[in-house]
A and B are shown apart, each in its own frame.
Chain A
Amino acid sequence: MKSILKNKQIVIGGVLILLIVLLVLLAPLITSGDYSSVDLPNKHLAPGPGHPFGTDYYGRDVWTRILYGGRISLSVAVCATLLAAVCGTLIGSVSAYFGGAVDFIIGRIMDVFMSFPMLLSSLIIGIILKASVRTMFLSIGIPCIPMFYRMTRSNTLSIRERGFTKAAVSMGSGPMRIVLRHILPNVLPHILVVFSSAMGGCILAESSLGFLGFGIPQPTPSWGLVVNEGKSFMFQCPWTAGFAGLFIALTVLGFNLLGDGIRDYLDPKIRNSYL
């Protein structure tokens, strides 16, 4: 456990994410809490006392909107990634373990998914589902399933050939038991790595959709929406889009660092314990 703190990527990424999560959680204490009421006389105020990040076109406090937006953006990303992780991992391990026609058909469906840019799939799913705050995570999460599917499938294929699955079969374990007890726990470290980078990806996807105007509908703020609103006044008041963009970038960076760090940290360990 000590050696995990020696990994700079994990520490920096972890601290970054922790800070942002903390800010977002503490939003009611450290902001006015009012992210939606319009105050036209005070529109486009530059950052200063009372409005640390300035105000936007409607005179709303950008600091408040970003922290409350973070609640939405982060929870959408967490739900989306969880959805993708659970589905992708289960489909991937079952498909690889059973092989044959099941594996072939699932593989082709995933290929079709992967041949679309993720953002496009998100858009299409979002439009079909008429995404709201509640269902937004579906349109972002579903396109991420192939990421987890591919990783789990290839790892399952190699773990299936290792002696201990054969030994478990020879002791009378059924296929589901083998997948759940013997294969998935050994894939778990790899899942963590993909999970972390998928979190970054989902935050970006939510922001991109918001920026394009297909994100979470008004008036609930999300990071994508704040950037979208700020973009028309990029030159009069760059702080709106700028600060929101900064939060997005730092969060994505945090998750990517964390993912890379976990991979580096686990790699020699994996090799050792598997020998």
Chain B
Amino acid sequence: MAENKMLRIKDLRVVFPVGGKQIHAVNGVSVDLAPGEALGVIGESGCGKSVTFSSVLKLIQSPPAMISGDIELNGRSIMDLPEKEMQKIRGKEVSMIFQEPMRCLNPVEKIGVQIAESLRLHEGMTMKQALNRAVELLKMVEMPDAEQRIGCYPHQLSGGLRQRAMIAIALACSPKLLIADEPTTALDVTIQSQIIRLIQKLRKETGMGIVFISHDMGVVASLVDRIAVFYAGQIVEQGNTRDIFRNPLHPYTAGLIKCIPRLDTESRRLYTIRGSTPNLTTIPEGCCFAPRCPYATETCRTVKPEQTAFPGGRSCACHHAASLN
């Protein structure tokens, strides 16, 4: 134990058997998080971000999925914890908010009751206490007219307000870690920035750690201390947000940064990374990004690049990481 980590994922692998084939959704991911730290997780659709962090709450059904590696929360491995113990962790120590705020609320239950549920579950509050706390929580997430809103059904709220309600539910029991799985993807841009600012504010107030999953580099930049870039079920690069933006080591990261539309340059068209997302049914011999990489050499196609440490707590899995800069 070097230092105390709130979350430590070691060589996580998740394989889904689907119709005789195997989908290698997560392929040896190692990442950790200090208490109160904010980690940004970036990557294209389907690269295993959700599967990796759903595993932290053991939300992936296994079987059928085959999960190996180790996940520790506050130094305790959860891999062999029984379901009953996991239920105590979920929502209490670690909470998760999801992409679609409209689908994640029960349509036939009032917002207040839904927020109260985890308070009653984990804190043993009575309904009355829990509803009072629900109002406070809704105020904390800056819901207008909080007293009235606890009596609303989800379909009476707009998308942004629903996401605020979701956040209130997630934060009800003051978890030490919040996993936000693309919480703003389904929202329009102004609401999106409001929600980001809200999460920023809540982080300052509560000191909780955050894993913020997104496929948009621009969205996470202002929010997180560190970034992990996912590609094909692996982390290809991680490091401090500043360093990654200033000086990306991996060609894929560099491509992602170039993809952020900018208003201050003259370029006429948006940059895209050529090629399409990798096939997860086979693990390539060499670097998984090689088929799309402009710098790929023979070595890249045949030898798998190892995670190499770089100064400033960075790491990158690329044969050319040192030479490209």
User: Is chain A's binding surface mostly helix, strand, loop or mixed?
Assistant: helix
Cα of A150 to Cα of B241 in the assembled complex, Å = 53
Cα of A168 to Cα of B153 in the assembled complex, Å = 16
| Contact B117 A171, beta carbon cutoff 8 Å | yes
Chain B residues whose C-beta falls within 8 Å of the C-beta of A41 in the assembled complex? none
> Of the 9-residue stretches B2-10, B82-90, B132-140, B253-261, which lies at the interface with chain A?
B82-90
Within A171-206, which residues are at the interface with B (CB < 8 Å)? 171-174, 177, 181-182, 185-186, 188
| Contact B155 A273, beta carbon cutoff 8 Å | yes
The reply to whether the CB of B106 lies closer than 8 angstroms to some CB of chain A is: yes
The 8 A CB mask of B142-180 against A (1 = contact, 0 = none) is: 000000000001110000000000100110000000000
Cα of A202 to Cα of B154 in the assembled complex, Å = 38
The reply to whether the CB of A272 lies closer than 8 angstroms to some CB of chain B is: yes
The reply to whether the CB of A274 lies closer than 8 angstroms to some CB of chain B is: yes
Within B172-220, which residues are at the interface with A (CB < 8 Å)? none
Given A171-B117, A172-B90: A273 and B105 interface contact (C-beta under 8 Å): no
| Chain B, residue nearest A177 (CB) | B121
| Contact A172 B104, beta carbon cutoff 8 Å | no
Within B116-144, which residues are at the interface with A (CB < 8 Å)? 117-118, 121-122
Given A185-B108, A186-B108, A273-B153: A170 and B103 interface contact (C-beta under 8 Å): no
| Contact A166 B122, beta carbon cutoff 8 Å | no
Cα of A157 to Cα of B241 in the assembled complex, Å = 42
Chain B residues whose C-beta falls within 8 Å of the C-beta of A273 in the assembled complex? 107-108, 153-155
The reply to whether the CB of A163 lies closer than 8 angstroms to some CB of chain B is: yes
> Of the 9-residue stretches B93-101, B269-277, B300-308, which lies at the interface with chain A?
B93-101
| Contact A171 B98, beta carbon cutoff 8 Å | no
Cα of A174 to Cα of B83 in the assembled complex, Å = 9
| Contact A168 B106, beta carbon cutoff 8 Å | yes
What's the nearest-Cβ distance from chain A to residue B167, in Å? 12
Chain B residues whose C-beta falls within 8 Å of the C-beta of A171 in the assembled complex? 90-91, 95, 117-118, 121, 169-170
What's the nearest-Cβ distance from chain A to residue B193, in Å? 23
The reply to whether the CB of B24 lies closer than 8 angstroms to some CB of chain A is: no
Chain B residues whose C-beta falls within 8 Å of the C-beta of A186 in the assembled complex? 106-108
| Contact A172 B109, beta carbon cutoff 8 Å | no
Given A163-B98, A163-B100, A273-B153: A170 and B59 interface contact (C-beta under 8 Å): yes
The reply to whether the CB of A8 lies closer than 8 angstroms to some CB of chain B is: no
Chain A interface residue count, CB cutoff 8 Å, equals: 22
| Contact B155 A173, beta carbon cutoff 8 Å | no
The reply to whether the CB of B15 lies closer than 8 angstroms to some CB of chain A is: no
| Contact A172 B118, beta carbon cutoff 8 Å | yes
The reply to whether the CB of B224 lies closer than 8 angstroms to some CB of chain A is: no
The reply to whether the CB of A112 lies closer than 8 angstroms to some CB of chain B is: no
Chain A residues whose C-beta falls within 8 Å of the C-beta of B108 in the assembled complex? 185-186, 188, 273
Chain A residues whose C-beta falls within 8 Å of the C-beta of B92 in the assembled complex? 172
Cα of A174 to Cα of B84 in the assembled complex, Å = 8
The reply to whether the CB of B12 lies closer than 8 angstroms to some CB of chain A is: no
The reply to whether the CB of B57 lies closer than 8 angstroms to some CB of chain A is: yes
Cα of A275 to Cα of B108 in the assembled complex, Å = 12
The reply to whether the CB of A130 lies closer than 8 angstroms to some CB of chain B is: no
Contact partner of A181 (CB less than 8 A), chosen from B57, B102, B117, B154, is B117
| Contact A166 B155, beta carbon cutoff 8 Å | no
What's the nearest-Cβ distance from chain A to residue B260, in Å? 29
| Contact B95 A170, beta carbon cutoff 8 Å | yes
Given A169-B59, A170-B57, A170-B96: A274 and B117 interface contact (C-beta under 8 Å): no
Cα of A162 to Cα of B91 in the assembled complex, Å = 19
Contact partner of A163 (CB less than 8 A), chosen from B91, B95, B104, B169, is B104
Within A136-186, which residues are at the interface with B (CB < 8 Å)? 162-164, 166-174, 177, 181-182, 185-186
What's the nearest-Cβ distance from chain A to residue B166, in Å? 7
Chain A residues whose C-beta falls within 8 Å of the C-beta of B87 in the assembled complex? 172-174
Chain B residues whose C-beta falls within 8 Å of the C-beta of A275 in the assembled complex? 102, 155
Which of A168, A173, A182, A272: most chain B CB closer than 10 A? A168
Cα of A267 to Cα of B107 in the assembled complex, Å = 14
Chain B residues whose C-beta falls within 8 Å of the C-beta of A168 in the assembled complex? 106, 117
Return 21 A-B CB contacts under 8 Å, by A number: A162-B103, A163-B100, A164-B104, A166-B59, A166-B98, A166-B104, A167-B98, A167-B104, A167-B166, A169-B59, A170-B59, A170-B98, A171-B91, A171-B118, A172-B89, A174-B84, A177-B121, A181-B117, A185-B109, A273-B107, A274-B107
Closest 8 CB pairs of A and B: A163-B103, A171-B91, A172-B90, A172-B91, A163-B104, A167-B104, A273-B107, A170-B96
